[in-house]
Structure 1
C-alpha cells in the first residue's frame, strides 16, 4: 500500500536545511519525496503543517529496570523551583512512610532517583532508618548515580547481603557485583499485571517523545541464570518499538540464551562491562584523587580485559563498555586501538587530552548523556563537590569530537534519568563546558543519523530506501532556543509507515504482544 504524507516540512537530517514538502511510503519504506500525483490509488495523509523528523534512537538505556520501576517503583526526588525535593532525610522519611502505609504489607518498595549529593546530609539512608520508616518492609533506594543504593534489613536478608553491606549501603563494586541478586528478587516479586503495566508505560512514553528505537543494555553475569533478561528478550521481539539488545554478559552460556533472538552480534554496556563506577559514588576511575582525597579504581586488569574484548571482536561482535573517569577511558581506548571493528565507549564523561586525540583518530561510537551534567551544574552540584576544577574542565568535548567526525550517540541511561531525549539535547546545547556545546542540528543528529550509523541500519534519516519511522512535531527543533526544548513531545509517532497505537494499561498488553509476529532485536 502506497501512502503519500503531505502538508508538512520533512527534515531529512541529511543536512541542516534539507527539507521536502511530501514523502511517499510503501510497505514501511520511504520511496520518494515531492513526487507529482500520478492518479494512483495511493492513500493521502495530511499532517496539518507539522515538522517531521526521523524517529529518535536512544543508544543506551536499561529497559528491564525502566519497566520494573514503572510497574513497582516510585520516583523519590524531584527538581522543584530550582532545587531537589525532598532536600533532607526528614523529607525522605515522610515520603517513604506515606508510600509504605498505602502499600500491601511485606511488598517490595522500590524508590528511584534519589539524589544523595543534593540532600542536606549528603548521604543515603542506612538500613536502620529504612526499617523504621517502612515498618520493616523490604526497601530498595536507588541513587541517581546508578552505582550506589541502600537496602532495608528485610531486603538485605532476602538477598543474603548482610555481610557485604552491614549498614545497608552498597556502593561501587559491592553494588555493581550484586545487581543480579536484586534482579532475581525483583523477578520473583513482579506480577503479570505489574509487568504489563510497566511495558505499556515504557513503550507509550518512548513513543510520546518520538523514540522509535531503543538500545537496551540488559542482563547481569552474577546470577545463576538470568531468567528476567531472557523473558525481556522474548517480549521485546514483539514490542511496537524497535529494540536492539546489548547483552551485558561475558558468560558465553548466558549469551547463547538470547543471541538467537538478535539481528546482529552485540555485547556489552554496563554491569559486567563496567570498567569503573560513577562520580556520585566516587568510584569512577580518575588518574588523580577526588576533592575529598578518595580514589576510584579500575575494575579490570588491562591484559585480562583486552583478551576478553579481542575474543568478542574477532568473532564479529560490536563491543560496548562503560567508562567514565579518564583512567578507564584510557584503558578502553588503548584496547580498541588494537582490535578489529568499530566499537562503543559508553558515557566517556572525563577523557584525558591524550584520549580525546586518539578518539578523534579512531572514531568509535560514543554514547553520551549530557542531560545529567546539565542538571548537575544547575541543581545538584555534585561535580563541584567531588571533583577538582581541572577534572570538571576535562568533560567530554562534544563540539570538538563532532567536528572531528566522531559519531556521538544520544541516550538517557534510563531509568537513571527520564527517557526524555529533549533534556539530553538541551544538555548538549547548553553544555556544562559552554564552548563545547553543540548546535541544534548536531544535537538532533546524535539521536537520529548517528544512531542509525552505529546500528548499521537504514534508520535515523528520511532517505529513499530507509524505513519510514518518523515523528511529527509542532515546532521546528532545528530553529528553537534550548530552553524551548523543555516539555517538547511528539504529536504522533509513525513506525515502519504505521501510526503508533498506545499499548493498553493492563493484561491486554500481553494479549497484544503474544499475538504479534516476533522480530529480531
Structure 2
C-alpha cells in the first residue's frame, strides 16, 4: 500500500473549496486546504484538478461467478417471446456448432407462454435458459442429464430454487481457472465505475475461490466473502468472524455474512407471500423456521452476521422472527414486499435492508400483475429510511448490472425509461443513495479507509437521469489506484 497524495480535489458535499487528501498504508491521514506545491515527499501525487472526491462505492449483493460469466453467455434480455428465444439459440449454434448453449437474462413471467423442455429438445446439445432472477432455469433433456437434474425438474423442464442453486456456479463448460479469469476482468470493469468493494454471496466455497483469484492477480476491490449453510461450519471451525481476513486471500478479502435464501423470487413465482399470486399459489419458504433459527444462532454465537433473503411479505415476517429468536445481527436481503409493521420491526431489531433498486425498474410491470393491489409497499425504500432502517444498495449481479450509478439513479428516479416514477412516494434523494453505497463510511476524513473515487462532476449537482453517465476519473482502493483516466 503506497502513500498517495490527491491534490486539488473538491469533496462531494464539502462546500467546493479544493483540498489535498493524504493517505498512508491504505488509510486517509490528512485532509487540508489545497497547496499549489507538489508534495516533495515519498507520496505519489494524483492531480485532481478540481474534480470531485468522495468515498468509493460498494455493491452489497453480488454473485461474482455468474456476474462475470454473463458476457460469455447468450443474452436473452431483449427476447420477448418463446420464438425469439429459440431463434437466438439456433443462431448461436449456427455460429458455434456442437457447443453447449447457456443463455442468461430470460424474463418471461409476463409472457403468455414460457419456454419449456419440449421447445428446447429440438437441439441436440445441452441447452439451458437461465431466468433473469437467477432462481430457476429451463433445460432440454441433454442439459438435465448432464447436470443430473432430471429428477428435480418439473414436467416442463424447469428447475427451481435449491436444486438450481446447487448447480448454478457450475453451469457451462468453463473450468475454474477460466471463471476466475473472468472475475478478475470483471473486477477491473467494476473499478472503472468507482467500485471499491462487493459483498460476495455466491452459493459455493467463496473463500477457496478468492484464494485462487488473488493468486491469479486479483486486486481490483475489497471483497466480503459470505458463506452458505453448507460452508458455515467450516468458517466457525476456523474461528472466522465477520470482518476477519480470509486466510490466504490477501488483505482485501474478509469474512462476510452467513447467507440463506429463505424464500423464492417474484418472477419465478416462488416468493412467499401473504396473498396469492394470480395462479393461486403463495410461494414457499426454502428453509423451515427451526433450521433457519438454529443456523442463525450458531452463526451469531460465532460472531458471523446474517444476510437472509426475503422477497415475499410472508417470508419477511418469518425471517424477522428468526432474527428475533436467534439474536443475530445483519441484513435482510431484498425485502421487496413488506408490511408497515415489518418495516418497523426491522428498525427495532437494528437490521439493515440490503436492497437492489434496479430490480424495481425491471420488475414494475410484472409486479403490477403478480402483486396487484400491493405495489404501494413494494421496494419501499423511503418508508424504510423514515423508520430508521439503514439502506445498503447493491445490484444482485448478474440479475442487474454491477454499476452503482445505475443503482443510485433507480433509487432516486424509480424509473428506467420515459415513464413517470413508479410509486414516487418511495423515492430517496441522491444524498441518501450515495451514503447507502459507501459501504459504511460516512465521508472523506482522517482515519477512514483510503477507498475513494474521483469524479468528473459533482453527483449532487447533476440531474439524476445523468448519473449513469458520470465520468469516473480515478478509483482508489486501500490507497492504490485501481482505475484512472487522468
Report the TM-score when normalising by structure 1: 0.81
What's the secondary structure of 1:201's corresponding residue?
helix
- The answer on whether the counterparts of 1:210 and 1:489 sit within 8 Å (CA) in structure 2 is no
Partner of 2:169: 183
Aligned with residue 372 of structure 1, among 356, 359, 362: 359
Q: Secondary structure at the match of 1:177?
A: helix
SS of alignment partner, residue 34 of structure 1 = strand
Determine whether 1:307 maps to 2:294: yes
CA contact (8 A) 1:55 1:460 kept: no
SS in 2 for 1:9: strand
Does residue 467 (structure 1) correspond to residue 462 (structure 2)? The answer is: no
Matches within 5 A, 1:262-273: 266-269=256-259, 273=260
SS at match of 2:309: strand
- Give me the whole-angstrom Cα distance separating, in 1, the residues matched to 2:382 and 2:17: 24
Task: For residue 104 of structure 1, report the CA deviation from its aligned partner.
Answer: 5.1
Q: What displacement does 1:27 show?
A: 2.8
Aligned-residue offset at 1:257: 9.3
Other-structure match for 1:412: 395
Give the superposed CA RMSD.
2.7
- Residue 319 to residue 250, structure 1, CA distance change in 2 (3 Å): farther
SS in 1 for 2:469: coil
CA distance in 1: counterparts of 2:482 and 2:132, whole angstroms: 31
Deviates more, 1:481-490 or 1:411-420: 481-490
Deviation at 1:293, TM superposition (A): 2.1
Name the structure 2 match of 1:32. 30
Cα offset, 1:316, TM superposition: 1.3
Who is 2:213 aligned against? 235
CA 253–376 in structure 1, closer or farther in 2 if over 3 Å, else same = closer
Distance 1:464 1:442 in 2: 22
Query: Is the Cα–Cα contact under 8 Å of residues 236 and 243 in structure 1 kept in the other structure?
Result: no
Q: Is the 8 A contact 2:109 2:268 kept in 1?
A: no
Counterpart in the other structure of 1:127? 117
The match for 1:76 is: 76
SS, match of residue 332 in structure 1: helix
* CA contact 1:110–1:141 (8 Å) conserved in 2: yes
String of CA shifts for 1:126-146, please: whole Å, max 9, x gaps: 1232232xx311122111122
Contact 1:324 1:347 in 2 (8 A): yes
Superposed, which structure 2 residues align to 1:42-53 within 5 Å?
A: 42-53=43-54
Q: Secondary structure at the match of 1:218?
A: coil
Give the superposition deviation at 1:490: 1.8
CA apart distance, 1:501: 5.3
Deviation at 1:396, TM superposition (A): 3.9
Whether the aligned pair in 2 keeps the contact of 1:274 and 1:322 (CA below 8 Å) is yes
Rounded to whole Å, the distance in 2 between the matches of 1:19 and 1:160 is: 62
Q: Which moved more, 1:288-297 or 1:246-255?
A: 246-255
**Shift of residue 251, structure 1, vs aligned partner:** 4.7
Structure 1 residue 407: Cα displacement = 1.4
Cα deviation code 1:471-500 (max 9, x no counterpart): 222221112222112333522212222221
Aligned to 1:511: none
Matched residue, 2:228: 248
Q: 1:295 and 1:416, CA in 2 relative to 1: closer, same or farther beyond 3 A?
A: same
Equivalent position of 2:282 in the other structure: 295
* 1:158 matches 2:156: no
1:505 match: none
The residue aligned with 1:169 is 157
Question: Which of 258-267 and 392-401 deviates more?
Answer: 258-267
Match of 1:494 among 464, 476, 481: 476
Q: Is the 8 A contact 1:374 1:430 kept in 2?
A: no
| Structure 1 position 100, deviation (Å) | 1.6
1:321 aligns with 2:321: no
> Aligned match of 1:117 in 106, 109, 112?
109
Residues 192 and 149 of structure 1: CA distance in aligned 2, closer, same or farther (over 3 Å): closer
Contact 1:337–1:362 (Cα < 8 Å) also in 2: yes
8 A Cα contact 1:208 1:489, kept in partner: no
> Unaligned regions of 5+ residues in structure 2, if any?
241-245, 415-421
Structure 1 CA distance, aligned partners of 2:61 and 2:456? 27
Deviation string for 1:51-103 (max 9, x for gaps)?
12211011111012222334x413221xxxxxxx3222222222111112222
Hey, what's the Cα distance between the residues in 1 that align with 2:338 and 2:320? Answer: 10
Q: In structure 2, what is the equivalent of residue 485 of structure 1?
A: 467
Q: 2:33 & 2:144 partners in 1: Cα distance? A: 64
Among 427, 430, 443, which residue is 1:437 paired with? 427
Of the three residues 176, 188, 197, the one matched with 1:213 is 197
Report the 3-state secondary structure (helix = DSSP H, G, I; strand = E; otherwise coil) of the residue aligned with 2:326: coil
Displacement of 1:256: 6.5
Q: Is the 8 A contact 1:247 1:267 kept in 2?
A: yes
In structure 2, distance between residues paired with 1:181 and 1:204: 27
Distance in 2 separating the partners of 1:299 and 1:328: 10
Structure 1 unaligned blocks of 5 or more: 78-84, 221-225, 453-458, 503-521
With normalisation by structure 2, the TM-score equals 0.87
Distance change >3 Å, CA 484–CA 495, structure 1 → 2: same
Deviation per residue, 1:186-245 (Å, 9 max, x gap)? 4xx21467335412431122112110101001224xxxxx5x873344325752111110
1:4 equivalent in alignment to 2:2 = no
* Residues 152 and 168, structure 1, Cα contact 8 Å, conserved in 2: no
Between stretches 45-54 and 206-215, larger displacement belongs to 45-54
Q: Is the 8 A contact 1:215 1:245 kept in 2?
A: yes
Structure 1 residues 365-424: Cα deviation after superposition (integer angstroms, max 9, x where no partner)? 2100111112333xxx111121121x2112243123223432100000001111011221
Alpha carbons of structure 1 residues 99 and 301: separation in structure 2 relative to 1, 3 Å: same
Q: Which of these residues, 314, 321, 325, is aligned with residue 334 of structure 1?
A: 321
